[in-house]
Amino acid sequence: MKAALIDLKTERNRRIPNPDQIIVAGAGIAGLTLALALSEKGFDVQIFEKSATLAEIGAGLQLSPNATRLLDRLGVLERLKYASVEPQAICLQDGTSGEKLLHFPIGNQAKERWGAPYIVCHRADLQNALLTQARSRPNIAIQLQSAVTQHKADAGGILVRVQYHDRIEEHRGALLVGADGVWSNMRTAMSDTDRARYTGTIAWRSSVSVDQLPESFKGLLPAGTNVVAWTGANAHLIAYPIRSGQVINFVAVAPDRQDGRRWNLQIDPENISQNFIREFAAWHQGIRDMMRAGRPWTPWRLFEMKKCRFKIEDRLVLIGDAAHAMTPYAAQGAAMAIEDGCALAAALGTDGAKWDSALASFSSARTHRITAVVRRGALNHLAYHAKGPMALARNIVLRNRPVEKFVKGFDWLYGFDAEGPFDQK
Ligand SMILES: Cc1cc2nc3c(=O)[nH]c(=O)nc-3n(C[C@H](O)[C@H](O)[C@H](O)COP(=O)(O)OP(=O)(O)OC[C@H]3O[C@@H](n4cnc5c(N)ncnc54)[C@H](O)[C@@H]3O)c2cc1C
């Protein structure tokens, strides 16, 4: 299924540039959220985005209450309402036998316990909602087809060079925020060792209309609208409805058998489906039937940053994947990008006159949070991909541990408010 193209007609600034403005590189999830949060605090924001169209194929996102509470405050959740789905539960099942292991109620619980909904949506729909909201704010300017290429700090702030079509422009601001994603130029320009590392695993993504799902697969689905995760040796599969529930988004994560170390090898499209389905040969028949129905599967090689790094220079800070690209096992990459944006705006709003101390407290609080989330992702990885006796032990724990204990274990993650006081984080 092809994602809707967000119509990004080349637009130029209509606002008179303010040398105290905050310049943001990248109109992804982190950059747009930051711009909205800063705009609420009265800052002028200039975003430069290198692309002319923003689209991603078959990419769904789970957004937990720690992210949706922030989207709600920014007026974005309302815009996302008709394109997103609120699942009733998160269900864990065994990928080979299909056995149900855990039913974690999330629908009402999220709102009652953590104060905001748990939703699933398409990434393009989230980006579209953020973009539409940003365009409605007079103190946010967005310039497209504009790649930030260089920057230079001086006593008055920061001078930023932007490649706009075939010419170079210079823009002045008080601060530059690199929200330019996993391949961040701003990060790698500082040090070659800061590049994202290939994990040797691939996330295979596809989406299938509900009416085209094979019956054998439908039999594996628990009743209701849910996020379902199937676990298996070295692999897992996640399914959830997006686009108002008409389409099921699938993400299957498995080792890269082609050459786990050489990430830049082209994946041969002829062999894609065969190689991929072979990885799941021992899995339940219903899942294999669905995998054949789900063609094409788009491979997405997974990268992660070894070290989380926010503050780069006095007038340059990174947020989102640029600072801490992470594997998707905790489903928190976009949520952390949203938290970063709101937390940075809160720090600047509180201590905006003192850039250095605002950025230092932001960086230390966020590094602490990201480290904990990455640790949770690593734990999920172990649990999802366990095999042999480890898998048996996992299944016993999942079957027998009271659900309330699992729910409690998410309080620190889903109950977190990134805009809360910094000294409490
Ligand atoms: C398989 C998979 C599943 C995932 N599932 C989830 C999930 O369920 N829940 C969740 O929360 N997260 C999930 N994530 C993670 C999530 O998608 C990312 O963490 C998130 O999109 C990062 O947002 P960002 O704004 O930092 O970067 P991006 O969204 O990558 O945005 C960066 C932007 O910067 C622009 N740019 C780049 N260079 C420049 C430049 N020099 N000048 C100007 N602009 C530039 C790019 O064009 C782009 O628009 C998943 C990721 C993967 C791979």
How far apart CA 129 and CA 81 sit, in angstroms, is 10
Ligand 1 atom at shortest distance from the alpha carbon of 335:
11
Confirm or reject: Cβ of 377 under 6 Å from ligand 1.
Answer: no
Q: How far is the CA of 180 from the centre of ligand 1 (A)?
A: 8
**Rounded to 10 degrees, what is the CA torsion of 312, 314, 315, 317?**
30
Q: How many angstroms is it from 319 CA to the middle of ligand 1?
A: 11
CB 253 within 8 Å of CB 117? no
Do 139 and 42 meet the contact criterion of CB atoms below 8 Å apart?
A: yes
H helices present in 172-284, as ranges: 185-188, 215-218, 272-279
180 CB less than 6 Å from ligand 1?
Answer: yes
Cβ of 321 less than 6 Å from ligand 1: yes
Ligand 1 atom with the smallest distance to the CA of 31 is: 25
Q: Which amino acid is at 260?
A: G
48 lines ligand 1 (CB under 6 A): yes
What is the tens place of the pLDDT at every residue in 364-393?
999 999 999 999 999 999 999 999 999 999
Q: Closest Cα to atom 15, ligand 1: which residue?
A: 333
> 31 alpha carbon to ligand 1 midpoint, in Å?
10
Query: Can you read off the two tokens belonging to residue 379?
Result: 């734990």
Residue 47 and residue 31 in contact, taking contact as beta carbons nearer than 8 Å:
yes
Ligand 1 neighbourhood includes 18 CB (under 6 angstroms): no
Identify the DSSP state of 6. B
DSSP state of 153: E
**For ligand 1, mutation pick of 24, 33, 61 (most atoms within 8 Å of CB):** 61
Atom 4 (ligand 1): residue with closest C-alpha? 328
Q: What is the pLDDT along the chain (425 residues), one digit of tens a residue?
A: 343 334 444 455 555 667 789 999 999 999 999 999 999 999 999 999 999 876 655 578 999 999 999 999 999 999 998 889 999 999 999 999 999 999 999 999 999 999 999 999 999 999 999 999 999 999 999 999 999 999 999 888 999 999 998 899 999 999 999 999 999 988 887 766 678 899 999 998 888 888 899 999 999 999 889 999 999 999 999 999 987 778 899 999 998 876 544 545 555 545 566 677 778 999 999 999 998 876 678 888 899 998 899 977 889 999 999 999 999 999 999 999 999 999 999 999 986 567 888 999 999 999 999 999 999 999 999 999 999 999 999 999 999 999 999 999 999 999 999 998 765 55
**Which tens digit of pLDDT belongs to each residue from 17-69?**
677 899 999 999 999 999 999 999 999 999 999 998 766 555 789 999 999 99
Question: 148 in ligand 1 pocket by Cβ < 6 Å?
Answer: yes
